[in-house]
Each structure stands twice: as C-alpha cells, then as structure tokens.
Structure 1
C-alpha cells in the first residue's frame, strides 16, 4: 500500500487496524494516514492511506468520490463466517483499487476466488516453519512460551489460576476484552514477564506471538447455535500461532482435564501438511438494499444470491433486531426512506455486550426513541459515559462496563447521532482506556504471580547469579519482587505467600542468602556492631536473638553460643563476626573487671589457702559474703593488706568488694545472666524482702539492703556512738530513710550490728510537742540480726560470737545463706530481778556468763 499514491486496507479486527496504522504513520507521517473503525476515527483532511475494519471500509474502495490506487482485504476467507461473512464477500466482489487489489487469505479460498474473480492472480506464500504434533501434555509439563487455548471463560480462568500457582502465572486473552486490555496482556507475555498465555480462539486471528507450543484445552466450541467440534482449518488457524518465520512450532492437547480431547489422525495430517478442504460457498447479503419501507428493506436483505457460489447469509443479530422492531408499535412512524435508513443504521449497532438478541433489541429500541427526533444531547451522552467510568469491581464487572462503553464509543462516532461528537468520542475513549487499565490490573493481580515466575526461571542457575538482593531494611527481593525479610540473620518467608509458594521461596533464599548474609555481617563488623544489645545472657541485634552466653568456670569469660541462623554465614564471615562479637561482649562485661582480679588472685598459690578460700566465697557471691562464711577468724593478719589491695572491704557484718556492688557492675551481672532479677530491681539499693535473698544484700526486717549501703549506715551509727559522751546516745534516721529503708527496717539492721534502741517514753495525755528520741546503746556481744536471727558482730579480745534470742511475740526471720537461724520459742519474758516495772524500749535478756569479760572491758575503756 505504501508503494502506491493512496490506498486502503480492510482488517477483521480493530486491533490489527490500529497496529498497521501505527506502522504506516511511521512511514508516511501522521497527516497522510487515517484510522477508521466503528469505535475510533482518526482522519486528517489530506489523508491518503486508510486503515479500516472491514465494516467501516467504504464499499467499492472509493474515497471522496473516487477510487484509491490500492485496495486490500485481509483474512478474506472470513467470507464464509456466519455472522460477518457477507461483509467480506461484498468487498471481495466489489472493492477494487485503481491500480492494484489484494485479497489476503487462506488457500482454502482459492476455488471461490477463481470462480468469482476469474482474472485474479493466485500467489502462494509457503510457511517457512513446520508444525509438529507432540501429543497431550500435563499443565505441569508444558514447555515455556506456550499458549493454552480454551473455549469458555470459566475454563480460561481455571487454567490461568493453575498456572499462577505452579508456574508463576499467565497472560489472559479473550474476545470479551477490550483491544487495549488485550494488547497489554499480550505485551505481558511478549516481554517475558510470564511464560504462558491462556486464550480463547481469539488468539487465532490478528495476534503475532512469540509462541513455541499451542495446547488445546478442548476441541469443541459453541458457535452461537450449537456445540460443535472445530474443523481442521480452524484448528490450524489456532495451532499456527506456534512458530514464526524460520522457527518451528508444536501443538497438542492439554491432559488432565475432565474431558481429554485428542486429535484424530486425519486432523493431525491436515494441520501438519496444511491440507484443508476448500470452501464451497461464501455468505452473501445485499449490500445496497432499497429503503422504501421496512418490509422492502427486509425483503432485499433476504434476497437470493446472484451467483451459485454464494449462499444467503444466516440471520445475523442486526437482522434479528430489525425484524423485532418492525413488529413493535414504534415502527409505525418509520415511513420515509430516510427514516428507514436511519433505523437500519441503528439496528446495525454491534452487540458488544454479548447479551443476546432480546437484551440488545431493548437497548436499540431505547436508542431509536432518543434518535428519532434528531440528535442525542451532549449532557445525556456525558451522563451515560460517566455512569460507566468507574474502575471498581471484579473482572466480570469491568468487562461488562467496557462492553457498554464500547457501545457508546460506537454511537459517538456517528456524526448524525450525537452533538459535540468529537468531545463525546474523546470522553468515551478515555473512559475505555481507564477501564482497560483497571481490567488489566485485575487480570494481572489474579493470574500473575510475578515472584513465582521469576523464581521458576532462575532457580536452575548458579546461586551466585540468582538476582536476589537484601535491602537495608531487611527486605529480600528477586528482581524487585519481595520474597521475605531477614530478622537479624534469620530469613522469614513473605507472609503473603501461600503454602505452594512457601517451599519455592525458601529454596531461593537458601541459595542466595549465605552470600548476602556474609556481606551483611562484614558491614556490621566494620561499623562496630551497631544495634547490638546484651540482656539476661542473650545477645540480640535489633531485638532478634543471635547468641547466648553460657557460664564457664571463669565468671567473667562466658562462652558465646551462636544461634543456628549464624550457621548460614560463610566460614570466613562467620569467624570474623564471632571474633568481633566476643570483643563486644567483653566490652559489655568490662565493669566486672574487679571480679576478674579476684578470680586471678584466687588462682595464685602465694595468696595462701585462707585468703584463697575467702576469695572463692566472694567470687561465688559476686563480690559479697557474710563474715561467717569467709572464715575470717582464721585469716592471718598479714593477708588483709593483700586483700584490701584487691578492693576487698571487711565490714561490720559482711566482707565485700564495693566495685562489684555499684550500678555498672550490677548491670553487667544482669546482662550476663548471672542476676535473674529485673534490671530495675538489680540497680536499687533497697528492695522489698522475699523468699530468696539476692546476692549482695542482707535482710533488714521486711526489706533487704545492699551490703555496702548497710555498711555505710552502720559506720554512721558507730561515728555517732564515738562522738557520744554517755553510754546511751541518739541516732538520726534521715540517712537511712533517704536510702529507702523504713524506720523499722533500719532498727533491725542496726540491731544486727549490735545496736539496741531503748524506746522513749510516750508523751503524757494532753501534752504537746515532739516525742523524745529513742536512746541507743551498743552491745557488741548482744547483737541480733535485722530479721530476728542471731548474726552478731564478733566479740573483742577473742570472745565467742553469740546470738541474741528474739523477744517473745516477735516474728522469726529468714536465715542468710550459710547462717543458722536460732530463735527462742515465743512466750512472756521472765520478770526482772528485784521486781519493778520494765524499762521502755526493746526487751533485753540477762547477760550471759561468756560475755562478762567483754562487758567489763568495755566499761573500763569508757
């Protein structure tokens, strides 16, 4: 056509007309080319080349009063089609180019052409590739780049759904789709994003695909009148999509269906050898009927063909609509030839919605009622288009709206039907484009699993070449499609993956993650392990456990047990990461350095057995031990300076290392898992008492207090005693209260250190002012534990350490670890010697004989 000065080609599909239009525009320029279809018209005043659908192509090939230099009809064998054949037959008989006319079609048309156009020159173009039958194939064994052909929407959807599950998805092509949606689905297949396309027999015409195999899901279809088996020519038209130019193709059937269709030997031979029965007749209908009346019009349309090779066309839907409207009262006013022609034009509106004659007749009748008085108003048409321009809904809903909008696009192309035709046509095309985009998105969303499709293509490759990436936020993706995410070093499959895809995604991750995790570990080590945390003996990164600490004989050097996810790291990266992790853990446990010194000293033979035994007790108690457990009475005096250099303090009640009782050290003990209490509790100096006494604390009534704080309070009491001028003295409880101790707990703590409170006499009734403070005295041989058990301060001058029984009615305390609680059965205290009233304050027992020397020595010293 482009070799002539002008020309026109009639195509069976709007899709083909648009495709060729774009190619001719690239050659001749936009101003020289026109596109004319039932739903779209792009026509420049100086256009010389016309790409049309067969129905929109002018009869005879004349344009603007004269014939064009070239005329062509594509797929001319459609002259034998029951619905549209008469249109192609009329062009075959009457459309001619001034210089050249081409009829393009299957070789089965040759006898008809020779009979109807004797002067025609027959030119045969042989197929360069071959078609071979390979028998039935299951869906799971279909080769890539296959097309599966079904003959119902339900079967198309079922096959596409199975392909999505097992092969990543498929493109979908059906006759009910708009050309735009069909093009985009084909592009999905052509680009290689999916390897399969599922289609109806619409694939057999006008689609040039990169297909290597065609699988028939069935061999019969409903042709509008009955369910029948495809004839060999129709089978070949579809199977011929496999293989193009010099590349061979194959065809067969789809096994595993409810009905297992199979080709006969004759059908296979006909398809492979391209030998088909020739056409024996073409359908014809009068193309220029008379419009004197509706009856005359119907008679002409049903007239007998003039040639024996022609057969009267079956009643198409436009003819059926005309006959029904002729019986309707609305046809009574159709009397003039102009009105008859206009009614016939309305009846020829295509049934895009495919709802049948009855529904389509009602739509045409409503349209005729609106048109009989003139034009459709722009506001009315705009409102109808707006009602359909909604992109919500499922696939079937969108298909219905597209079919309806195509009807309005056809209506808007008629210049004598709609006011503001160009504007309304543009609106209809824009609405159809939006609906087509939405339908394509729904089809892709439902029938394409891009992630699975990509993995199916790449899993057989070298793992190093698998296009898997790990983003900074931990998302693992294959060519941009997420397959899961990494929590620290543990891969978690995408929660949206179904059970079938789960194993596939894991397989992809296992092949690629060692390399990616190795890179992540190296980056993490280089950056100094940011995001790491140690708590309760568990090492976490960004909240995910990566290792645990396991206690060893050396408390400050626990063993690091990595989580099993770290086993996925390559060996060099794993070694580098664990080495860095050990250094990081050591830095976190640095506040326990004093404990490390104690451990080192306990292994020194020069320290002496008594000092080493004391050190072992301190290490076991995490820097604390009661005086009773340390065996301090056996410790040589010369060993004490050695221990003090190590930071050991010999307190009134306990032996401890203050550095290990500070918040930093307590936090380190908690981090290592040695202290199981909550961190907040481990950092406090005074906490409520419980069934178990935490290490580093001693009981004080209903509370327990850290031993360094207890030593501070006892030291303050001794300082107050030293400053006192009398045997009895007063103590200020402010310091104890500031630490969190209650007054009762403070008194019990001081009682364990040998201090005794003599309660002041209560104010007389009606007296005003503060009560007198309690008076205290110190009885070192008469000490009592704060919880009521004996654990007194050692007596001077080598005196024996004795406990103090609890006053009758008091509560029995809890024994410290290593101490033996002793309490006297409850009862009334025996009366004082000489009678008289008892003194205010705590009850006292009579001095024991073993303490007489110590009491006398103290009295003489004072």
Structure 2
C-alpha cells in the first residue's frame, strides 16, 4: 500500500486501493506507515497487524571485504552495483546481481544463484525491498542517495527500513549497516529502523481513472482533474501522458484520433512501457508508429514486427548490450500481448517470449561469468557441506578438485593457482589440503621404490624425482657429505617422510660414490702413510685438484714408492697441478664444483652454471671471465687461468714440451699457408693469447732473437743451457720468440 505514495507509479496503486474489490473480501497489504491514510480513505476498514517475529539490529560500518556471509549490498546505480560485485568476486568468490532493469527471468536466475548457496553475497538496488524473499542475514548500504526520476535525494527512513527489513526471516534475526563511503547512521535513524517506527504517509498519488474518450481534448481535460478527497494529490505527469502529448503534435495522429474508439485506442497505445529508456522523443516516435499501423490498417504488419524482433535476436555482446536488447524485446512482448494488434497474436507472443528468454539466459550467463568465480564458489560450497572432495592429478601435475583447477603439485609441494587471492586463495588451499590428504602418502610410497634412473641432481643442487623437485642439498660436515632438506608440505609426515628421506640419502651417497670413486678410494686408501697420506688428504679436501706450488715441498719429499702408490689411485703430477684425470670429465667435474660451492661458496656464484657447459664442449682453452672465481676454473673447467685465457691441466704442459717436440722445425703452416707456432696449433689459441699465456707460465721474450727468422732462432737455441727444462726459441705470433721456461716441466 505504501507504494501509493510513489511519484512515478503511485497513482496506479491508489486506483487499486480505491476502486478494486474482491468478491468476498479485499486484502490490502502494506507497511504501517500507510495505515492512517487507508483508514481515512476507506472508513470502517479492519486492520490486522503482523509484527516482525525476529530482531533487526544495527551492526555499524563494515568494509565490503569484511561483510559476513549471506549479505546483501545495496546501491542505486548500475555502475556502482557492478563495481561492488567485481570487488566481491575478487575478494570473496562472487556475488549475484539484482536490479529493477533486469528481466524477470534474469532476476530470478540471479536470486536462485544466491539462494542455492553458489554465492554468499548479493549486490542489488532497492529492487530487493519488495517482492523478493531471500535468505539474507545482513544488509549493507553502499549508498543512501538515489535518483527517483525527478531528482537525487536521500532515502527516507521508511525506505531504508523497508530495504533493511530484508535481513532475517521468520525466527532468524537479521542485521543492517553501512559500507564503503557511507557515513554511519545516527542514533535516531537506527532506533526508527530497529523498532519499525516511521512517520506515517501524508499523501497518496492520484490520477483520474474515469477518463473521457469522446475526443482528445476531453481526454486531456479528464487527465488534468484534481482530487477532491483529503489525503490525495494529483500525480505528476507520467510517461504515458507525455507520450500522448508528443503524439498529438503529429497531424496524422490527430486525424486518426476521431471518435471514442479511436481516442481510447490512442490512449491504449500510449500505455506501452518505455523499457528502453533512451529518450521521451524516441518513445514518442514508437507510439506514433504503432498507432498509425493499428488505427489506419487495423493491424501491425508482420514483416515490420518481424524486423523489430530480428534486431534484438542476438546473444553476443556484453552485459549492457544484452540489457538493451532485452529492453527492446520486452517492449515487443508487451505489444504482442495487446488484443487485436497483430494478426497471428499467439505466434508473435511465443516468438517474443522465446527471444526474451534466450537473451535473459545469456545475460544471466554474462553476469555470472563477470561477477562469480565458479571455482571458488564450488569449492567453498563443498567445504561447507563437509563433503569428500574429488581430486584429480594429471601427468603434468595439474590438480583439479571437483572439476576446478586449483594449482600444481610439484613433487611434495602444492603450488596454488596464481590467479587466486583473498578468499579465493584460501578456498583453494583448504580444498587442496583436504583433497590431497592421501596423495602424499601414495607418492612417498612410489618414490621409496623408485629406481636410481628416476632421480637426478640438477645444477642448482636440487634433487628431482621424475622431473619434480623433492629436495635440495645444503652443506654438511664435509664437502663429500652434503645434507638433504626435503621440499615438502606439512602433509608429508610420519613413516612417509622417513621413507622419502632414507631413499634420497641412499641415492645421493651412491651418486657421489659412483662419480667420485677415485676420490673416495683415495680418501679410504689403507696403503698410504706419511707424506703421501698428507698429500692424499689435501687432495680430498681440494676435491681432486691441487696447485702444485701449494704442496711443492711435500712433492719433492715423496720417494718413488710413495709416488707409485699415489699413481695407483689415479693421481697425476702435472707441471702446475696435482690432479686425478678421471675427475676432469664433465660429469665428475660438475659434481665436484657443486659440492665445493655448497661447502665454500654459494649456488648463485658467478660461473657455476656457465663453466660446466664450456668444459663439456671439449675445448682445450677458454676465455677468462674475471667475475668467475678462479677455483671454479680449476674444479669445473679443469683449467688454470692465465691472463686473458686459460688452458686445461693437461694442455698446460704442452708449451714447454712442444719446444722439445718441435725443435727441428722452422715453420708451421696451416691449410691456408699461414704461419703459426706449434703451441697455437695444439691449443687453438690466437698468437696474442698464446704469447700472453706463455708469459704467465714463466716464458720470457729474448730481445736478441725477436727479429730472427725461425730457422736461425732454432740454430741459436741449439746451444742453450740444458741444466733445466729448456724451451727452444719458439716463434709465437707476430715474430715474438720465447726462450727458457723457468719452471717444472711436469712428470
């Protein structure tokens, strides 16, 4: 009944209150604010009160992201409704949307989305104030001002109370409050809403229902009649009356609107609702067109009506586009239901309803896609039901719970989907933890029985099982015994945890023993003693390669028997290094470097990832990178850095020995006939690089021979002193000659 005071539609409700009666009795339902006026207009009316059976309390301001489940957020513009729904989707999983502009089918589908528990939040305009019974526990006002068709104004206390009263049902208490930028309600307003104590309505809107259709002028006069009864006021000009005035500006309409039936038909056409809300002029043009067809020809042409429906019969586009099409087709649905306006009325009714239903379903789907995270809503609903969750893990580790992708299972660690945050992320983690409870034990069982080939140690010190990371290495008590740290979630516990740990420790010990067997044998050798054992200990500590100068005194003190025992374990005495050739192969060398980095450096040190690839390429020398640790060249590349380039431990002896090997030669030419020294040929160095490296290894330039041809340089060198390792004069790029090498030539 209180809607009789509405400026836009109030006169319709007033007419029903005053003039519509049932056969036996008439029931008028409404708020207590309308009671004084109804009792005044209808003397003797019997009033029966139905007080609220539950409590409605004020909960104060709350952030949208902190609203309780089963909340309705109220705003009064489509843009604001959409913005709030989008925020709730990101933070809380999704929301249903209810607005007066939605078609009944779309609105009902959105309400069902909320009622079924697929979403826990509803964002709506004041359309939820009447006509919808919802399981809402809390109503939050995100706005207090609305446009009522004439102006922007604050909602009255009774209007706020009507909307807030949606919270709670029957014996279930409800609450209301504010959110967003809305200021907290004052105490008087809170008291009024909680006690349902509002000022009574003073006026009902009224428009004359006894219209005179004898002429258009008489129709106008009858519409302008003012009420004579107290408590009634003439309603503002409605859209139907505005459409009438617009139509009467057209001569063709005035010519057709002659006689009572024609004027009544004109007023009937003016009743077509303006669902499109484009402009009064466009709606007026539609009224003129419809009246011209019906009044002149008796029927609306089928081909014209079919074209109008075809314009709206498309389900592509966004929410606003579909809403506009639904508004159009609702107009044609109304027209199709007017008696006598179309030839095959039933056909066009069915056709218009079919299009409206299809568009309504498409709009519901778009609203759901935009404002509902199906994954989160499904998971949260199943979690609330405390049901067993069905989990599926494909061969790539993708985890699906109840058909929804929730993340990836990497070894024994679950990585949630990165698109989930807030409540979404919490739901994903909770659902995954519940669904994957038994998967960790199954994986632990398979890993404990896995063959060695299924487990690998990657260059970043990560142990991988079938490509998935399951553990990482950290420094242990010594370099050859690193510790294992499992990469696993808390679900891996008890016997499963122990089985995985034991299997990985066994694999790691076997891996180190296999690749570094010469080093392990040297460490455990029982037939080494004295200085030889000390040298062996130093080599094990250095992971297989020692700078000779570091143990020069010990090496000189070794007798031939001790050297023979060390050679038995693979030790070689080079010109610059004491080393084990078997450990210089790419796989052992990479493992040695990794173990050294764990013990003495860090896994992100420069060169640890790059040098193994260079070593495995088979190069005899490589360019020195000053940012790489020099120890890595010794361990990984098995090389000794000298100025711009470094050569491997084996090839480092060649510049010295090649002076003896190639003593009788005077020139060397490549396939193109270019001269180059033997060392350059063997090392692959450019002349400048080889010269720099020879300087670094103790060669010196003999100025007296620098300009001699190669043959004369050899002749001069034949008389050189042979008291030490003597390198005959070699021509090393661009005519430079190097003489005696002041160092050990190796053994």
Cα separation, partners in 2 of 1:393 and 1:507, compared to 1, 3 Å: same
Equivalent-residue separation in structure 2 for 1:479 and 1:534 (angstroms):
35
Equivalent-residue separation in structure 2 for 1:706 and 1:623 (angstroms):
9
Question: Who is 1:766 aligned against?
Answer: none
Whether the 8 Å CA contact 2:143–2:182 is kept in 1: the answer is no
Alignment match of 2:54 (pick from 117, 130, 155): 130
Question: Who is 2:604 aligned against?
Answer: none
Equivalent-residue separation in structure 2 for 1:159 and 1:652 (angstroms):
78
Indicate yes or no: 2:127 matched with 1:254.
no
Whether the 8 Å CA contact 2:668–2:678 is kept in 1: the answer is no
Cα offset for 1:223? Answer: 3.7
Cα offset for 1:202? Answer: 1.6
Please list, as runs of the form range in 1=range in 2, the aligned pairs for 1:272-291 lying within 5 A after superposition. 272=195, 277=200, 283=206, 285-286=208-209, 289=211, 291=213
Cα separation, partners in 2 of 1:635 and 1:282, compared to 1, 3 Å: closer
Alignment match of 2:252 (pick from 327, 330, 335): 330
Question: Who is 1:801 aligned against?
Answer: none
Whether the 8 Å CA contact 2:203–2:233 is kept in 1: the answer is no
Question: Who is 1:410 aligned against?
Answer: 334
Indicate yes or no: 2:307 matched with 1:383.
yes
**SS of the counterpart of 2:620?**
strand
Equivalent-residue separation in structure 2 for 1:810 and 1:282 (angstroms):
103
Cα offset for 1:645? Answer: 5.1
Please list, as runs of the form range in 1=range in 2, the aligned pairs for 1:365-444 lying within 5 A after superposition. 365-371=288-294, 372-391=296-315, 394-414=318-338, 416-418=340-342, 421-444=345-368
Equivalent-residue separation in structure 2 for 1:762 and 1:204 (angstroms):
101
Whether the 8 Å CA contact 1:146–1:197 is kept in 2: the answer is yes
Equivalent-residue separation in structure 2 for 1:130 and 1:357 (angstroms):
45
Whether the 8 Å CA contact 1:112–1:309 is kept in 2: the answer is yes
Equivalent-residue separation in structure 1 for 2:572 and 2:143 (angstroms):
94
Question: Who is 2:121 aligned against?
Answer: 196
Whether the 8 Å CA contact 2:168–2:175 is kept in 1: the answer is yes
Equivalent-residue separation in structure 1 for 2:69 and 2:192 (angstroms):
25
Indicate yes or no: 2:188 matched with 1:293.
no
Alignment match of 2:665 (pick from 721, 742, 759): 759
Render the CA deviation track for 1:770-810: whole Å, top value 9, x for unaligned. Answer: 9xxxxxxxxxxxxx99699xxxxxxxxxxxxxxxxxxxx99
Question: Who is 2:472 aligned against?
Answer: 547
Render the CA deviation track for 1:40-90: whole Å, top value 9, x for unaligned. Answer: xxxxxxxxxxxxxxxxxxxxxxxxxxxxxxxxxxxx665555544554555
Question: Who is 1:585 aligned against?
Answer: 508
Question: Who is 2:718 aligned against?
Answer: 845
Render the CA deviation track for 1:312-357: whole Å, top value 9, x for unaligned. Answer: 6553221221133123223232124443333222211012133454
Cα separation, partners in 2 of 1:534 and 1:361, compared to 1, 3 Å: same
Whether the 8 Å CA contact 2:157–2:193 is kept in 1: the answer is yes
Equivalent-residue separation in structure 2 for 1:481 and 1:576 (angstroms):
32
Please provide the CA RMSD for this pair: 5.6
Cα offset for 1:567? Answer: 8.1
Question: Who is 2:544 aligned against?
Answer: 622
Equivalent-residue separation in structure 2 for 1:321 and 1:580 (angstroms):
85
Render the CA deviation track for 1:371-425: whole Å, top value 9, x for unaligned. Answer: 4445444443343334334555554444333222221222233353345544544
Render the CA deviation track for 1:80-111: whole Å, top value 9, x for unaligned. Answer: 55544554555566666667765555566677
Please list, as runs of the form range in 1=range in 2, the aligned pairs for 1:638-787 lying within 5 A after superposition. 638-639=561-562, 642-643=565-566, 646-647=569-570, 657=580, 659-662=582-585, 664-666=587-589, 668-669=591-592, 672=595, 676=608, 678-688=611-621, 690=623, 694=634, 704=647, 707=650, 751=658, 754-759=660-665
Cα separation, partners in 2 of 1:323 and 1:560, compared to 1, 3 Å: same
Equivalent-residue separation in structure 2 for 1:531 and 1:101 (angstroms):
83
Equivalent-residue separation in structure 2 for 1:661 and 1:201 (angstroms):
80
For structure 2, the 5+ residue unaligned runs are 598-606, 625-629, 672-676, 682-687, 725-747
Equivalent-residue separation in structure 1 for 2:373 and 2:649 (angstroms):
64
Cα offset for 1:597? Answer: 0.5
**SS of the counterpart of 2:515?**
helix
Question: Who is 1:364 aligned against?
Answer: 287
**TM-score (ref. length: structure 1):** 0.63
Alignment match of 1:211 (pick from 105, 123, 136): 136
Whether the 8 Å CA contact 1:681–1:687 is kept in 2: the answer is no
Alignment match of 2:271 (pick from 327, 331, 348): 348
Equivalent-residue separation in structure 1 for 2:433 and 2:580 (angstroms):
53
Cα separation, partners in 2 of 1:588 and 1:346, compared to 1, 3 Å: farther
Whether the 8 Å CA contact 1:319–1:347 is kept in 2: the answer is yes
Matched pairs, number: 680
Indicate yes or no: 2:71 matched with 1:146.
yes
Higher relative contact order (CA 8 A, sep 6+): 2
Whether the 8 Å CA contact 2:547–2:576 is kept in 1: the answer is no
Cα separation, partners in 2 of 1:384 and 1:827, compared to 1, 3 Å: farther
Cα offset for 1:830? Answer: 13
Cα offset for 1:649? Answer: 6.9
Whether the 8 Å CA contact 1:164–1:448 is kept in 2: the answer is yes
Whether the 8 Å CA contact 2:379–2:428 is kept in 1: the answer is no
Whether the 8 Å CA contact 2:412–2:470 is kept in 1: the answer is no
Cα separation, partners in 2 of 1:749 and 1:340, compared to 1, 3 Å: farther
Alignment match of 1:538 (pick from 443, 450, 461): 461
Equivalent-residue separation in structure 2 for 1:699 and 1:205 (angstroms):
86
Cα offset for 1:523? Answer: 6.0
Equivalent-residue separation in structure 1 for 2:703 and 2:382 (angstroms):
85
Cα offset for 1:651? Answer: 9.5
Indicate yes or no: 2:554 matched with 1:596.
no
Question: Who is 1:172 aligned against?
Answer: 97
Equivalent-residue separation in structure 2 for 1:470 and 1:527 (angstroms):
23
**SS of the counterpart of 1:243?**
coil
Alignment match of 1:185 (pick from 110, 114, 137): 110
Cα separation, partners in 2 of 1:842 and 1:145, compared to 1, 3 Å: farther
For structure 1, the 5+ residue unaligned runs are 1-75, 711-744, 764-769, 771-783, 789-808, 832-836, 852-862
Render the CA deviation track for 1:805-844: whole Å, top value 9, x for unaligned. Answer: xxxx997574799xx735473423999xxxxx97897764
Render the CA deviation track for 1:99-139: whole Å, top value 9, x for unaligned. Answer: 7765555566677877888898x583634613434364334
Equivalent-residue separation in structure 2 for 1:277 and 1:848 (angstroms):
127
Cα offset for 1:183? Answer: 1.7
Equivalent-residue separation in structure 1 for 2:561 and 2:40 (angstroms):
134
Whether the 8 Å CA contact 2:389–2:435 is kept in 1: the answer is no
Render the CA deviation track for 1:146-187: whole Å, top value 9, x for unaligned. Answer: 334344445545655665566555433221222222223222
Cα offset for 1:208? Answer: 0.4
Question: Who is 2:704 aligned against?
Answer: 827
Cα separation, partners in 2 of 1:847 and 1:430, compared to 1, 3 Å: same
